[in-house]
Amino acid sequence: MLDERPPGHVSSSFEDEEVALKILVISQYFWPEEFLINGFVKGLKARGHVVEVLTGLPNYPSGSFAKGYGLFGPYKDSFEGNTVYRTPLFPRANGAGWRLALNYVSFALFSVMRSLCLFREKYDCILVFQPSPVTVGIPGRVLKWITGAKLCLWVQDLWPESLSATGGTTNPAVLHGVGNLTKWIYRGCDAVMIQSKAFKASVINMGVSPDRIHYYPNWADDFFSGEPAVCLGEEQNLIPEGFRIMFAGNIGVAQDFETILSAAEITLQKNPRIQWVVIGDGRRRQWVESEIKARSLNNVHMLGRHPKKKMPAFFKVADAMLVSLKSEPIFALTIPSKIQAYFASAKPVLASIDGEGARVVIEAKAGLSVPAESPEDLATAALKMAKAESSNLNKMGENARKYGVQNFSLQKNLLRFEEMIRCL
Instruction: Note the pLDDT of residue 237.
Output: 75
Find all residues with CB under 8 Å of 11, minimum gap 6, and list them: 419
CA distances (Å), origin 298, targets 227, 278, 289, 304? 31, 13, 11, 16
- For the stretch 310-364, pLDDT in tens is 888 899 999 999 999 999 999 999 999 999 999 999 999 999 999 999 999 999 9
Q: Flag whether pLDDT at 8 surpasses 60.
A: no
Mean pLDDT of 70-93: 94
- For the stretch 84-108, pLDDT in tens is 999 999 999 877 788 999 999 999 9
Instruction: Give me the phi and psi of 243, to 5 degrees please.
Output: -85, 110
CA distance 168 to 3: 32
Same fold, 12-219+409-423 and 225-407: yes
Share of the chain above pLDDT 70, in %: 93
Tell how strand 76-79 and strand 82-87 pair up: antiparallel
pLDDT bracket for residue 50 (50, 70, 90)? very high
Instruction: Note the pLDDT of residue 289.
Output: 97
Mean pLDDT of 185-197: 96
State the pTM of this model.
0.86
| Order of strands, sheet of 50-56, starting from the edge strand that comes earlier in the sequence | 76-79, 82-87, 50-56, 22-26, 125-130, 150-155, 191-194, 213-215
Instruction: Note the pLDDT of residue 9.
Output: 42
Q: Are 379 and 266 in contact (CB under 8 A)?
A: yes
Share of the chain above pLDDT 90, in %: 78
Task: Check if CATH label 3.90.650.10 holds for domain 225-407.
Answer: no
- For the stretch 12-47, pLDDT in tens is 333 445 689 999 999 999 999 999 999 999 999 999
Mean pLDDT of 363-367: 97
Instruction: Note the pLDDT of residue 5.
Output: 40
- For the stretch 120-165, pLDDT in tens is 778 999 999 999 899 999 999 999 999 999 999 999 999 998 888 8
Taking residue 116's Cβ as centre, other Cβ atoms within 10 Å add up to: 13
pLDDT bracket for residue 7 (50, 70, 90)? very low
Return the CATH fold of 12-219+409-423: Rossmann fold (3.40.50)
Q: Where are the domains of the chain?
A: 12-219+409-423, 225-407
